[in-house]
Amino acid sequence: MAFSSLEFIFRFFPAFLALYYLAPYKHRNKVLLIGSLCFYALGDFRYLPLILASVGINYLIVRQMIRHRDHEKIWLLLSLLYNIGTLFFFKYSNFLIENINAIAQVFHWEKELPVLNLSLPLGISFYTFQVISCVIDVYRKEIGEELTFLNFATYVTMFPKILSGPITSYGEISEELSVRKYNIFKLEIGLRYFILGLGMKVLVADRIGLLWNDIQTIGFQSISTPLAWLGSLAYSLQIYLDFQGYSLMAIGVGRMLGFHLPANFNHPYMSKSITEFWRRWHMTLGMWFRSYVYIPLGGNRYGLKRLAANLFAVWILTGLWHGASWNFVLWGILLFLLILLEKLFYKPLLDRSKILARLYMLFVIPVTWIIFAVNHLKDLMIYLGRMFGIYQGVNVNPNDYVRYFSQYKWIFLIGGFLCFPYGKRIFNRFQNSWACTLFLLAIFWYSVYFISNGANNPFLYFKF
């Protein structure tokens, strides 16, 4: 069940919010926990036992870790084996088997391993990372006896962030799990964030995503080079506005419940380098890898070779975290190389020259997103070949981009505007005005109209 579904907007959330506010203060975590489990079950009931097992097993481990500090490393290892092993089984076992079978074909082995064809449990990448962060923080003695089962279970399953983040550490919301304040102002602000995110996703991201769908329908081999670049720009806007829309909706729902969830984006397309871009994009995931992978490996403290090795580890893991496919591995390697080259050579030049930096990012970002978007390597090579004019197309109309640009130009304009901070500044200035309220009401009902007509797609990050 997505935030942008009519079931959530008009049934689940109003009913849950009424029960949540009517419940005595000391029981609201229980209401939130039960509501979150119901929300998850409505999305995919099959995997409800899996998340319950994650909560139960990991809480038993952290209690043992707190009580028996002499054996805390053993308990930490058991937790990591369970969490990473479960994530690997459901997300990467098919990928591993397919590659083993491909090797078997090369060497003409007679037997092949059966593919398991497992579906990906909703939110497993996100809630697993949050569980791991909490266990590691207990190991680091940043969390102690104050960690109760109810607070831990509520933290892991909290429905505003269970499906696609933001990825939060326990410490970021521990105080609000124990004591949080409610008032009509927080409810109003939460509603405003929710509506902005809803409009960003339904009215802009989904609409511009239709161009990317059209290109896939045409076939990559039959598009012109200008249309290939137009499609890459469309996907770049779609993935940003889709995920930013979800994040704003999650922050809005969290605010209505009394939680201040962290921001996930800081206008990443305003960046002047890939290094800066990944400090502004999916910031909670970046902070997770920095805190629990990069710094523990040594960061940049032990020379160039160690820096390169640590960056390589982070970006390979980041690529694989997003999906079990070779294009994600290539995507991670490319980002690693670009960030390493920036650190070693040309980032100071980009920082000094806005024009050069903008041209660089306008070229690099669409290319990296195409590698991210196209799962099959053969199709990926065809698309990149069409972008750079090195693949001979089939039945290509050299003027096809004119039609699509004319059709989507206003959506491109609106999407491009939302990448800049001007819209946020205008909203912050006029958010309490009647004009802003009427504008938000128009966005809400226009979004509902599109959803009711079936013009709404699942959030892109649900499949990661």
pLDDT tens-digit series, residues 327-385: 999 999 999 999 999 999 999 999 999 899 999 999 999 999 999 999 999 999 999 99
Give percent of the chain with pLDDT exceeding 90: 79
Query: What share of the chain has pLDDT > 70, as a percent?
Result: 99
Mean pLDDT of the chain: 93
Supply the pLDDT for residue 458. Answer: 72
Neighbours of 278 (CB within 10 A): 21
> Token pair 């084996």 is at which residue?
81
pLDDT of residue 464: 65
Judged against a pLDDT cut of 70, whether residue 77 lies above it is answered with yes
> What is the mean pLDDT of the segment spanning 53-69?
94
Taking a C-beta distance cutoff of 8 angstroms, is the pair 149, 127 a contact? no
Place 113 in a pLDDT band, splitting at 50, 70 and 90.
confident
240: confidence class by pLDDT, cuts 50, 70, 90: very high
248 pLDDT above the threshold of 70: yes
193 pLDDT band, cuts 50/70/90, is very high
Neighbouring residues of 33: CB distance < 8 A, sequence distance ≥ 6: 150, 153, 154, 157
> Is the model more confident about 182 or about 173?
173
pLDDT of residue 179: 87
pLDDT score, position 455: 65
Half-sphere exposure of 80 (CA within 13 A, CB side): 11
The separation between the first and the last C-alpha atoms of the chain, rounded to the nearest angstrom, is 16
CB atoms closer than 10 angstroms to residue 71: 12
Euclidean distance between CA atoms 355 and 188, whole angstroms = 40
Mean pLDDT value across residues 301-317: 94
**What is the mean pLDDT of the segment spanning 146-173?**
94
Q: Is residue 359 within 8 Å of 312, Cβ to Cβ?
A: no
pTM: 0.94
At residue 181, does pLDDT exceed 90? no
Q: Pick 431 or 247 by higher pLDDT.
A: 247
Reply yes or no on whether the pLDDT at 166 is more than 80: yes
Catalytic residue among 71, 108, 260, 322: 322
Q: Examine the pLDDT at 286 and tell me if it is beyond 80.
A: yes
pLDDT of residue 115: 84
Q: How far is CA 231 from CA 185, 324, 387, 408, in A?
A: 41, 24, 10, 11
Per-residue pLDDT of 406-443, as tens digits, reads 999 999 999 999 999 988 888 888 888 898 999 999 99
Query: Max Cα separation, the chain?
Result: 72
To the query of whether residue 322 is one of the catalytic residues in this protein, the response is yes
CA angle 451, 118, 325 (to 5 degrees): 85
Q: Name the residue type at position 435.
A: A
Q: Taking a C-beta distance cutoff of 8 angstroms, is the pair 166, 64 a contact?
A: no
Query: Across the chain, how many H-helices and E-strands are there?
Result: 22, 0
Q: How confident is the model at residue 318 (pLDDT cuts 50, 70, 90)?
A: very high
> pLDDT category, 206, cuts 50, 70, 90?
very high
